Chains A and B, each alone.
Chain A
């Protein structure tokens, strides 16, 4: 039985295909259209999923969508009532009306037209937004039963839910509804600190360790009322999103001493402290909610999804609390993952199929996107006369990669199936030597062209993770932060450095904080990916070789893209990104390309203009 799941029209459109409960393929539309966070109907991702399975639309048993537009319309109308009280409905009408009444309510027609049919069922199955998130977290998890927490900006009405999954069964037990939303609160701070709503939330998280949570009490006093069970209400007087406008209003600005930071302008201590404060509030809500979920469900397992579940710092704190024995988080925790969730939910709940639970999760390492064969790559390179080195012996290939990393070369790695979700996990990654003191700013400024303060994540062999990090368990999807082990840390005074540099974060970043400085954030934390042979044997062997040669089994792993660009998908995307940046080496499967050997790369237009800064 084939079921196609689709998410679209909000953020990060995606398609996912399952066959008899097994994930066959899943991908975000942005990777194909090269438009970051693309929200259009994911016709390219759908085409890819069908191609991967070798089927056409007529062979689909069902098509499912991850969000109920009628409920969304209901919320929109409710919002109109609210805004109408102050005769302030212009922006709602301007920005939301067309998308709801002109597009979202018609999703069945849009999809039928785009696909040329809706499969054998002939009807679109529509799942609620948060049940889609919940299903994406529970069904692929390795747990027979689990408490389920979903948190995001908003989906139809719900913004936070607690649920329970047991075998095939999945229910939402408690929820908090719009306009009260911890995700929107965090987005309000993201916006106010000068980052883009939604896509910039992880920047706020990365900025938080530079600051102190001096606004924590103020936020709790004025903006959010948090109950002991983790439920909350926002004080809407400080926000403008309910009018379809900017996230915050003048009253919010007054509370924090002036206007919001203008995007791309200098970051001040205020933004650092606001980031730290908002982060602390989110962590508190998450931990209290988890305690409530434990109390209600009595399960020893927790699964999570929704955009807030991508906050790996909060996840790391939750893990340390040991409220649950085991935690599993959907790697595509944002809206893209809803495509997978609604497909699973239809399979188990609409068709009543039995769930088979494996020892490991069934997410397949989240390597669910397109792969390219050696033949396809050779054809691409030969046609364009791009010189490369091909290794017949796998061992020699790994030795070469290890040598290049030791030589502090920056490597773009494009191999195997593309990752599903926002994290690059070793198949579409930029790799570097984490022991280099200058590597963080070098990659940020000369390769990724992004803000210097942003940290890089380490990939580490799963069996050696405790040698480097205080993480007791695995983190295969880079969704948990933990501190670098004390014996690896170096003395480091963040406050003195910030004072001395007049709040410029670049000198701070360049100051070594540990034996692996490029992946150690200013509070000694790291966003860890544990690598195991089962999920990614190729990447595992690169790390094994590096360990054999240097004694270190850690590597910098950052997504293969530049700022504002979706992660690369094809060898062509990878080559383009390689040539546009200061990357030294490109690896396509087992073929290595060296920058100095490549022909001049001519582009008639400045490529920076083709990507909007995120």
Chain B
């Protein structure tokens, strides 16, 4: 049985295939840098994300074969980090939302843009 939904697999595989191409910065002689949106694209979805308990395995499994040693290191860090986030989350899931919702989890320093 797959660890993640089919749709999420598609997202990850697409990402893995195109990851390198997003960071080109030289003027490659193109007339335009606008990208055309494909027709039929769905801009709105019923949101499903219910399989993050296997996030670390998912990241390594999907990306391990595609990318180099550096990325594998990143994935290892990501997996460790994810486990700690998950553990922390399981503890806090039992508590009700505080008045400020998820504020504590998403504080971003003022000098960077909150992506």
Q: Which residues of A contact B (CB under 8 A)?
A: 8-11, 33, 38-43, 64-65, 68-72, 74-85, 87, 89, 93, 95-99, 101-108, 110, 113-114, 123-128, 131, 153-154, 162, 171-180, 184, 187, 191, 196-198, 225, 227-229, 231-237, 241-242, 244-247, 292, 342, 345-346, 349-350
Given A68-B45, A198-B113, verify A227-B102 contact (CB < 8 Å). no
> Is the pair B115, A154 in contact by a Cβ cutoff of 8 Å?
yes
**Contact residues in A for B77 (Cβ distance below 8 Å):** 89, 93
> Is the pair B113, A74 in contact by a Cβ cutoff of 8 Å?
no
Complex CA distance for A342 and B25, rounded to whole angstroms: 32
User: Given A69-B47, A101-B85, A110-B101, 19 more contacts at CB 8 Å?
Assistant: A10-B115, A40-B106, A42-B101, A43-B99, A70-B11, A84-B74, A99-B106, A106-B49, A131-B43, A171-B39, A172-B43, A173-B37, A174-B37, A227-B32, A227-B33, A229-B31, A234-B25, A236-B25, A349-B43
Q: Specify the chain A residue showing the minimal Cβ separation from B45.
A: A126
Return the contact of A81 from the options B36, B39, B74, B113 (Cβ within 8 A).
Answer: B74
**Contact residues in B for A346 (Cβ distance below 8 Å):** 44
Complex CA distance for A146 and B96, rounded to whole angstroms: 45
Q: How far is the CB of A583 from chain B (nearest CB, A)?
A: 28
Q: How far is the CB of B35 from chain A (nearest CB, A)?
A: 6
> Is the pair A69, B114 in contact by a Cβ cutoff of 8 Å?
no
Given A77-B15, A110-B102, A125-B46, verify A101-B108 contact (CB < 8 Å). no
Complex CA distance for A197 and B101, rounded to whole angstroms: 23
Q: How far is the CB of B67 from chain A (nearest CB, A)?
A: 7
Return the contact of A103 from the options B31, B37, B81, B106 (Cβ within 8 A).
Answer: B106
> Is the pair B89, A102 in contact by a Cβ cutoff of 8 Å?
yes
Complex CA distance for A76 and B82, rounded to whole angstroms: 14
> Is the pair B113, A178 in contact by a Cβ cutoff of 8 Å?
no
> Is the pair B25, A237 in contact by a Cβ cutoff of 8 Å?
yes
Given A197-B111, A233-B27, verify A102-B105 contact (CB < 8 Å). yes
The yes or no answer to B1 lying at the interface (CB within 8 A) is no
> Is the pair B33, A241 in contact by a Cβ cutoff of 8 Å?
no
* 19 A-B pairs whose Cβ atoms sit less than 8 Å apart in the complex: A11-B114, A40-B101, A41-B97, A71-B11, A77-B15, A78-B18, A81-B74, A82-B22, A102-B88, A102-B106, A126-B46, A172-B41, A197-B110, A198-B114, A225-B27, A233-B33, A235-B25, A245-B112, A246-B112
**Contact residues in B for A101 (Cβ distance below 8 Å):** 52, 55, 81-82, 85
Complex CA distance for A9 and B102, rounded to whole angstroms: 8
The yes or no answer to B100 lying at the interface (CB within 8 A) is yes
> Is the pair A70, B71 in contact by a Cβ cutoff of 8 Å?
no
Given A40-B101, A103-B105, A113-B96, verify A81-B67 contact (CB < 8 Å). yes
> Is the pair A178, B22 in contact by a Cβ cutoff of 8 Å?
yes
Complex CA distance for A41 and B114, rounded to whole angstroms: 15
Given A85-B70, A154-B115, verify A78-B34 contact (CB < 8 Å). no
**Contact residues in B for A97 (Cβ distance below 8 Å):** 78, 81, 85
**Contact residues in A for B32 (Cβ distance below 8 Å):** 227, 229, 231
**Contact residues in B for A247 (Cβ distance below 8 Å):** 111-113
**Contact residues in A for B39 (Cβ distance below 8 Å):** 171
**Contact residues in B for A234 (Cβ distance below 8 Å):** 25
Q: How far is the CB of B31 from chain A (nearest CB, A)?
A: 7
Q: How far is the CB of A148 from chain B (nearest CB, A)?
A: 12
Q: Which of B45, B71, B102: most chain A CB closer than 10 A?
A: B102
**Contact residues in A for B33 (Cβ distance below 8 Å):** 176, 180, 227, 231-233
> Is the pair B44, A78 in contact by a Cβ cutoff of 8 Å?
no
> Is the pair A40, B100 in contact by a Cβ cutoff of 8 Å?
yes
Complex CA distance for A594 and B43, rounded to whole angstroms: 53
Given A84-B74, A349-B44, verify A103-B102 contact (CB < 8 Å). yes
Return the contact of A84 from the options B45, B70, B102 (Cβ within 8 A).
Answer: B70
Q: How far is the CB of B105 from chain A (nearest CB, A)?
A: 5
> Is the pair B108, A99 in contact by a Cβ cutoff of 8 Å?
yes
**Contact residues in B for A105 (Cβ distance below 8 Å):** 49, 52
**Contact residues in A for B109 (Cβ distance below 8 Å):** 95
The yes or no answer to B91 lying at the interface (CB within 8 A) is no
Q: Which of B44, B85, B97: most chain A CB closer than 10 A?
A: B44
**Contact residues in B for A81 (Cβ distance below 8 Å):** 19-20, 67, 71, 74
> Is the pair A78, B25 in contact by a Cβ cutoff of 8 Å?
no
The yes or no answer to B6 lying at the interface (CB within 8 A) is no
B3-38 contact mask (Cβ, 8 Å, vs A): 1 or 0: 000001001101100111011110100111111110
Return the contact of B112 from the options A77, A87, A95 (Cβ within 8 A).
Answer: A95
> Is the pair A113, B97 in contact by a Cβ cutoff of 8 Å?
yes
> Is the pair B81, A93 in contact by a Cβ cutoff of 8 Å?
yes
Q: Specify the chain A residue showing the minimal Cβ separation from B33.
A: A231
Q: How far is the CB of B26 from chain A (nearest CB, A)?
A: 8
> Is the pair A179, B23 in contact by a Cβ cutoff of 8 Å?
yes
Complex CA distance for A93 and B30, rounded to whole angstroms: 34
B68-83 contact mask (Cβ, 8 Å, vs A): 1 or 0: 0011011001100110
The yes or no answer to B65 lying at the interface (CB within 8 A) is no
**Contact residues in A for B106 (Cβ distance below 8 Å):** 9, 39-40, 98-99, 102-104
Q: How far is the CB of B103 from chain A (nearest CB, A)?
A: 4
Complex CA distance for A172 and B46, rounded to whole angstroms: 20
Q: How far is the CB of B54 from chain A (nearest CB, A)?
A: 13
Complex CA distance for A89 and B34, rounded to whole angstroms: 29
> Is the pair A80, B78 in contact by a Cβ cutoff of 8 Å?
yes
Nearest 7 interchain pairs by C-beta: A41-B101, A231-B33, A174-B34, A131-B43, A40-B103, A84-B70, A126-B47
Q: Specify the chain B residue showing the minimal Cβ separation from A153.
A: B113
**Contact residues in B for A245 (Cβ distance below 8 Å):** 111-112
Given A85-B70, A187-B113, verify A128-B44 contact (CB < 8 Å). yes
Q: Specify the chain B residue showing the minimal Cβ separation from A70.
A: B11
**Contact residues in A for B81 (Cβ distance below 8 Å):** 93, 97-98, 101
Q: How far is the CB of A363 from chain B (nearest CB, A)?
A: 22
**Contact residues in B for A8 (Cβ distance below 8 Å):** 101
**Contact residues in B for A69 (Cβ distance below 8 Å):** 47, 49
Complex CA distance for A562 and B33, rounded to whole angstroms: 42
Complex CA distance for A603 and B67, rounded to whole angstroms: 59
